[in-house]
Structures are given as structure tokens and as C-alpha cells.
Amino acid sequence: MHDIEIREGTIRLGQLLKLASLVEDGVEAAELIRHGLVKVNGDIEERRGRQLAAGDVVEVGGQRVRLVTQG
């Protein structure tokens, strides 16, 4: 599992997928989400705009990333 640093606050799922290099663009993110291939904290997530915060874990294709706050 890799840690991805964000500033205080939240980030949208689609943005995180790109930031973590789990997808190349928003279109790919939307496709993966639509097909139920993205999990947030162990549950399938169907909303590309879901707000994520520090501590959330996102999984795509066996790759997992955890959000942490900078500093």
C-alpha cells in the first residue's frame, strides 16, 4: 500500500485516482468506477465525485493507496 499526501481537507475520488497514477485520465476513472472496479475502505464505490479524506483507503486492480495529510 502506498501513501498519497493531500493538503488538509478532502479530494474527489476521480482526482485521487489520477494523482495516484491509478488511471491516466478522467475517462478511465469513470469507466472503472462505473464497472464497480474501485473500492473505498473495502466497499465498491460508484460515485466519481465522492469526497475522500485522510485515512481513506482506495483500491483498484489490486493496488491500494491510503490518503494522508501533508506535514
**Domain range list for the chain:** 2-69
pLDDT of residue 7: 83
Task: Write out the H or E segment, with its range, that includes residue 64.
Answer: strand 63-69
The CATH number corresponding to 2-69 among 3.40.50.2020, 3.10.180.10, 1.10.10.10, 3.10.290.10 equals 3.10.290.10
pLDDT of residue 71: 66
pLDDT of residue 47: 93
Among candidate residues 69, 29, 67, the one with its CA nearest the CA of residue 49: 29
Cell of 37: 472496479
Residue located via cell numbers 472496479 = 37
Instruction: Work out the pLDDT band at 70, boundaries 50, 70, 90.
Output: confident
Tens of pLDDT, residues 4-48: 998 878 999 999 999 999 999 999 999 999 999 999 999 999 999
